[in-house]
């Protein structure tokens, strides 16, 4: 596998990059901060059998779509063409902060939905131009149902999940496999300070589940897997019940 990872320097993306390199795959990291990229490349280089030749990086900012083409060009050159694109990057903030800060709400909605879709479209076109590949994108269980604690963040992920499902319907027959990952609560820097609920996962467990989903060409996974049934119940609840509960 020749994989491009947007957001592979932290949390679930970093765990995924490590597993890929340790499995003998080639990885090209995209991210905002060059220091983080350099540190991650060094970390991955010592984990892979081929060292630095197995890993590369280029700057790419989901808040700046003008960086997308150059970043994908750099990945294509370094890898000699890639067959897998993984997007774990995104923004998160709790509902109270988003309600109090309209600019932060705009950034979360733009990055998690509009700009992620724009990046995926650029990646999709490249993958299809060479016969297909895999586009694996992290959405969230927060987008499965309108909920009080994640009204704005959940809306951004609901739109992204809808787009990914549509993409899978439209292009799988042409060779593009779309994998939508819906993590529940995962203990990462993004969720630091929040009380972990039951079934809270770890980046390493999520990475293992995602790699299995990519290998089996699954269009959708919940991870940890218990969240599939938790969200099934939540989706079945009538609105008057949802208004009364805090979930």
Distance CA 1, CA 24 (A): 8
* Start-to-end C-alpha separation, the chain: 39
The DSSP string of 192-245 is TTSPP-TT-B-HHHHHHHHHHHHHHT-SEEEESTHHHHHHHHHHHS-HHHHHHS
Q: In angstroms, rounded to a whole number, what is the distance separating the alpha carbons of residues 17 and 154? A: 26
Hey, what are 225's tokens? Answer: 């897997």
Measured at the CA of 220, the angle between CA 187 and CA 7, to 5 degrees, comes to 45
Nearest CA to 177 out of 235, 123, 112 is that of 123
153 is catalytic: yes
Q: Which of 113, 153, 163, 222 is catalytic?
A: 153
Measured CA angle at 55 (ends 53, 57), to 5 deg = 125
Catalytic sites, residue numbers = 153
């Amino acid at each position: 596998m020749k994989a491009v990872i947007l957001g592979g320097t932290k949390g679930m993306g970093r765990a995924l990059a490590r597993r890929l390199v340790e499995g003998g795959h080639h990885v090209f990291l995209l991210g905002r901060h060059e220091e983080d990229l350099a540190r991650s490349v060094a970390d991955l280089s010592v984990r892979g059998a081929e060292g630095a030749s197995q890993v590369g990086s280029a700057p790419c900012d989901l808040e700046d779509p003008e960086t997308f083409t150059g970043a994908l060009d750099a990945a294509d050159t370094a890898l000699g063409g890639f067959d897998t694109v993984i997007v774990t990057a995104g923004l998160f903030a709790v509902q109270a902060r988003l309600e109090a800060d309209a600019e932060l709400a705009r950034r979360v909605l733009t990055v998690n939905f509009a700009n992620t879709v724009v990046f995926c479209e650029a990646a999709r076109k490249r993958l299809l131009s060479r016969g297909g590949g895999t586009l694996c994108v992290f959405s969230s269980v927060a987008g499965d149902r309108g909920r009080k604690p994640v009204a704005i963040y959940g809306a951004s992920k609901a739109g992204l999940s809808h787009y990914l499902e549509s993409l899978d319907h439209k292009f799988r027959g042409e060779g593009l496999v779309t994998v939508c990952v819906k993590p529940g609560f995962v203990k990462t820097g993004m969720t630091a300070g929040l009380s972990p609920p039951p079934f809270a996962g770890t980046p390493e467990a999520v990475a293992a589940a995602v790699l299995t989903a990519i290998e089996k060409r699954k269009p959708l996974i919940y991870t940890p897997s218990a969240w599939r049934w938790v969200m099934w119940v939540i989706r079945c609840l009538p609105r008057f019940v949802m208004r009364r509960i805090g979930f």
